[in-house]
Structure 1
Amino acid sequence: MASALCAQTDPDLFADLKPGGSSRTARRICQHCPVQAACTAHAAMLEDHDGARVCGIWGGATSRQRRRAT
């Protein structure tokens, strides 16, 4: 996903946040990303395949938001 906007910015913005942290900047970047749908699908595939939780912001969603959506 070379054209992903997150690949062109600070990767720490997309790391799992501590309680009280904010994912607003990362989610805003994801909203305008040309590969947002592919990113969301990739995170879901990793979670389905391995059964492990994928940490961080992927496709504009936190790990908690992705779990709720399934």
Structure 2
Amino acid sequence: MDPEIFTSGSRSCRAAKKVCMSCPVRAECLKEALEFEAEPGSVRHGVWGGLTAHERTQLFGEPGGVAAHDDDRCAETHAS
């Protein structure tokens, strides 16, 4: 598996999310991203725990007070 599918800007956001759906540590991964993003000025880019930074912002608020706009190239996943 190519780890680049998990990075923001990758054309493979759907592939990354598909991997996440069957991952046994998905919840822990998402928790780690949210804990990191709770720090002021911190944003964890890419797909973590099955969600893009944009989706995490929509669900949990702006991480550390910083808006996550890094997923523009993954826009097709936002409507899914």
TM-score (norm 2): 0.68
Looking at structure 2, the residues matched to 44 and 54 of structure 1 have their Cα atoms a distance apart, in angstroms, of 8
> How many residues align structurally?
60
Name 2:52's counterpart in structure 1: 62
Looking at structure 1, the residues matched to 13 and 35 of structure 2 have their Cα atoms a distance apart, in angstroms, of 22
Q: CA deviation at 1:26?
A: 0.3
| Contact persistence 2:8–2:47 (CA under 8 A) | yes
Runs in 1 of length 4+ with deviation above 3 angstroms?
Answer: none
Matched, 1:33 2:23: yes
What is the CA RMSD across the aligned residues, in angstroms? 1.4
Deviates most, 59-68 or 42-51? 42-51
Name 2:2's counterpart in structure 1: 10
- Give percent identity, aligned residues only: 35
Looking at structure 1, the residues matched to 12 and 4 of structure 2 have their Cα atoms a distance apart, in angstroms, of 12
Q: Which sections of structure 2, spanning at least 5 residues, go unmatched?
A: 61-80
